[in-house]
Amino acid sequence: MSIDQTSQPIKPLRIAVLVSGSGSNLQVLIDAMQAGALPIEIVGVISNRDDAYALTRATDAAIPVAVLSHVASGKRMGIKTFEAHANEQLIAWQPDLIVLAGFMRVLSGSFIDNAPAPMINLHPSLLPVYKGLDTHQRVLQAGDRYHGCSIHKVTAELDAGQVLTQAVLSVDINDTAESLQSRVQKLEHKLLPWTILLLAKNVLSLEAESTSQANQYLPTLPLQLFITS
Ligand code: GAR
């Protein structure tokens, strides 16, 4: 149990994380949890790929994992089967919050609606622009001056749920898709723990749209983070 600044003990937020790849964002959450810097308990990690490095990160931290590989023994696992197993596993872990951190399968509305906890997704663009894939390339092609990442509530429509927080950078004349990916990922590593802290402390709420921001003295959503260094 963590102690907040007013010395009130706060119950750790139980988090399940869904991943598909490297898991650098998962690692930030693991490090923050282990350092006692975030009032969270990562109760389990689900991967849809058995070769995701995120699984090694979770296992090294003694976090339970479930591998629901979309290519299990040469046979493609359909999304319905994946969702049935994932739902069962999530119910067993009893999370308060489900975090999609680099999870690359599109989930159905019924899975999202029936999940045992609300879901947030980390997306590498300043939503509502550039939903979907290849966001860095599309920013460069459009000649945009600003780019960044967003955390939004997950709804049936892809990358379209209410945006809670964003981190912003200015695009440099020398930026490439690769450099933007790396710069945005550094922002993500700040944005994800910050957003989860706001949720854990009930500054942000994932309940109905009208009550989505518990603190009326904060600016309207999305809250934006500009990191200058
Ligand atoms: C992150 O950059 C995240 O924004 C992106 O995948 C990466 C995962 O990195 N997510 C999406 O594109 C979702 N549409 P990580 O595995 O190192 O955390």
Dump pLDDT digits (tens) for 97-120. 999 999 999 999 999 999 999 999
Asked if pLDDT for residue 211 goes beyond 60, the answer is no
- Angle among Cα 16, 215, 40 to the nearest 5 degrees reads 25
Q: What is the mean pLDDT of residues 138-157?
A: 98
Looking at residue 2, its amino acid is S
Structural domain boundaries in the chain? 10-117, 121-149+164-206+219-229
CA–CA separation, 104 vs 96, rounded Å? 22
At 69 the pLDDT is 86
Residue 118 CB less than 6 A away from ligand 1: no
Phi/psi of residue 24, each to 5°? -65, -35
Cα Rg of the chain (Å, integer):
17
Ligand 1: nearest atom to the Cα of 103: 13
Asked if pLDDT for residue 218 goes beyond 90, the answer is no
Confidence of residue 219 (pLDDT cuts 50, 70, 90): confident
Q: Whose CA is nearest to atom 8 of ligand 1?
A: 102
**What is the DSSP secondary structure assignment for residue 126, as one 8-state letter?**
-
Compute the distance from residue 182 Cα to the ligand 1 centre, in Å. Answer: 11
What's the CATH class of domain 10-117? alpha beta
Compute the distance from residue 37 Cα to the ligand 1 centre, in Å. Answer: 22
At 7 the pLDDT is 52
pTM of the model: 0.93
Phi/psi of residue 207, each to 5°? -75, -165
Compute the distance from residue 92 Cα to the ligand 1 centre, in Å. Answer: 26
Average pLDDT over the chain, rounded to an integer? 92
CA–CA separation, 209 vs 91, rounded Å? 25
Give the 3-state secondary structure of residue 76: strand
At 92 the pLDDT is 98
Compute the distance from residue 191 Cα to the ligand 1 centre, in Å. Answer: 13
Looking at residue 162, its amino acid is Q
- Tell me how long the chain is: 229
Q: Decide if domain 121-149+164-206+219-229 falls under CATH 3.40.50.170.
A: yes
Q: What H or E segment, with its residue span, contains residue 166?
A: strand 163-170
- Angle among Cα 99, 102, 104 to the nearest 5 degrees reads 105
Residue 148 CB less than 6 A away from ligand 1: no
Structure tokens at 214: 């518990």
Residue 102 CB less than 6 A away from ligand 1: yes
Over the stretch 22-69, which tens digit does the pLDDT of each residue have? 999 999 999 999 999 999 999 999 999 999 999 999 999 999 999 998
Asked if pLDDT for residue 147 goes beyond 50, the answer is yes
Looking at residue 152, its amino acid is H
Catalytic residues: 123
